[in-house]
Amino acid sequence: MKLKTIALAGTMSLMSSVAFAECAYENTVPLKSLSAGFEAWKVVTDAMAECGNFEASLDQEFREKQPEAFAADPALYQIGGVANGTMVPLQNAGTIRPLDDLVAKYGQNLTPNQLIKVDGKVMAVAMMVNAQHLMYREDILTDLGLDVPGTYADVLAAAAKIKEAGVVDYPIGGTFKTGWNLGQEFINLFLGEGGEFFGEGNLPSINNEKGLAALEVMKALTEYMDPEYLVSDSTYVQQQFQQGKIAMSNLWASRAAAMNDEAESQVVGKVKMAGAPMGSAFPATTIWWDGIVLAANQTDEQAEAAFQVALEGMDEEVVKANNDTSIWLIPGYVPGELAAGAAASAGAGAKPYPSSVPFGILHTALGNGLADYLTGAKDAATTLADIEAAYVTAAKEAGVVE
């Protein structure tokens, strides 16, 4: 039995590597890429490597290395993998190159949706999107006769029922880890309320009734969470789901596949995806994209080769062989059950993550400042006022506020 499984696995991996090995041409220009290290990037860069003369660095610390590596002349990497936020420093430093000419020449198979445009120029080619959306235990909701929650009021009502029934340890899981994660939760909810983060001259405008509403929802959610929520990140929430400890969470789409991973999960097939719960105006989530950029400091010949290799990594075959790895933007992708949540959020008008220099500072200030409200050290208005003050101090130091 065991031998058979191994043999089967062997053939499978052989088959998939055969599926990869089809690069349309032989690349002769030495190329390097630097990107994040999650599964989708591994798939794509593996496919690029099939063309030869290509070396990929998959690095969790890419965000710190990229600006310096791209500022070098010639750049240390020809291809970069970025997301909404991480493109900003490269874009601002002018170290990435417009791609319009290359798209015109080689990009016949790209959809217009994939082209990231800044000021009319194509600066990046996106390959996938990621968003937080509602994941829920279908069996529990059905047993208790509950509908799939559509708003946060519904989520809280359902959580109360689940708590009463006592079927899981905690009804709700949340990525409330102090820092980036916690800041992101506020951003979701504030956008869901239809808030605008900045007023004139990059001054913050979160200390208002929309900000207070967002904070109230956060506090209400924590009542139904593991009391150690301030240390729980995406991986921790994913594990709570897999171990059957929680029933609902607004979690990243990139974590969806793990729910059905039989090696790790005790709830295979029981977790379903729905759109992010609505705030009073929009779904309380942000849409993120990941894609490639090309360094400005390289020769045209290199750029041309790099672009071709990159497209080879992001083509239809790769997507077909790895359909469920991610929510691809590439033609050939068949949205499965796991993509339902992200699709529903997007359909309901979810906003892209509003990346910019001041927003990066605000995100940090939020991430550091919100815990005081949740632990009860400060009231809501003071918390928001202090976060605004912290933002202004940092923004003045960075030069974006006079």
Partner 1 sequence: MKFKTFAVFVGPSVLMMLLFIAFPLVSVFIQSFKITQPVYETVQMETCTPGFLTQTCVTEEKSVPVLDEAGEIVTQTEWVGLQSYINVLEPERAWAALSAGDWRAFQSIDFWKALRFTLTFTFITLPLVLGTGLAIALVINNAARRVKGPVIFISLLPFIITPVIGALSINWLFRGDGILTATMERMLDRDIALFAQAWTIEILMMVYRVWHVAPFAAIVFYAGLQTVSSDSLESALIDGASRWQRLKYIVIPHLMPLIVFVGMIHLMDTYRVFEEIVGFSSQGHVISLQWLTYDFLQPDQSGNRSISRASASAMLTMVGIVLLLIPPLKRTWRDHRGSH
State the minimum distance, in angstroms, from the CB of residue 143 to partner 1: 24
Report d(CA 49, CA 311) in Å as an integer: 12
DSSP E strand boundaries for 313-385: 327-328, 351-352
State the minimum distance, in angstroms, from the CB of residue 391 to partner 1: 11
Single residue of 17, 113, 235, 266 touching partner 1 by CB under 8 A:
113
Element (H, E) at 178: none
Residue type, 137: R
- Enumerate residues 310-369 that contact partner 1 by CB under 8 A: 329, 342-343, 346-347, 351-352, 355-361, 363-364, 368
Nearer to partner 1, 143 or 316 (CB): 316
Report d(CA 88, CA 355) in Å as an integer: 7
3-state secondary structure of 267: coil
Q: Is the backbone of residue 232 left (phi > 0), alpha (psi -120 to 50) or beta?
A: beta
Residue 372 in the binding site for partner 1 (CB under 8 A): yes
- C-beta atoms surrounding 15 within 10 Å: 11
Single residue of 43, 49, 115, 246 touching partner 1 by CB under 8 A:
115
- Which range in 26-34, 48-56, 142-150, 227-235 contacts partner 1 by CB under 8 A? 227-235
Report d(CA 44, CA 251) in Å as an integer: 24
- Enumerate residues 193-222 that contact partner 1 by CB under 8 A: 202
Q: How far apart are the first and last CA of the chain?
A: 70
Nearest C-alpha neighbor of 243 from the set 225, 262, 267: 267
Residue 177 in the binding site for partner 1 (CB under 8 A): yes
Nearer to partner 1, 46 or 163 (CB): 163
Residue 266 in the binding site for partner 1 (CB under 8 A): no
Nearest C-alpha neighbor of 277 from the set 139, 143, 157: 157
Q: How many residues bind partner 1 (CB under 8 A)?
A: 68
Report d(CA 55, CA 235) in Å as an integer: 29
Structure tokens at 79: 């291809």
- Which range in 23-31, 87-95, 154-162, 301-309 contacts partner 1 by CB under 8 A? 87-95
State the minimum distance, in angstroms, from the CB of residue 396 to partner 1: 8
State the minimum distance, in angstroms, from the CB of residue 194 to partner 1: 15
Report d(CA 56, CA 77) in Å as an integer: 9
Residue 228 in the binding site for partner 1 (CB under 8 A): yes
What residue ranges bind partner 1 (CB under 8 A)? 63-64, 67, 84-86, 88-89, 92-95, 112-120, 126, 129, 177-179, 182, 202, 226-228, 230-231, 236, 287, 289, 296, 329, 342-343, 346-347, 351-352, 355-361, 363-364, 368, 371-372, 374-375, 377-378, 382, 386, 393-394, 397-400
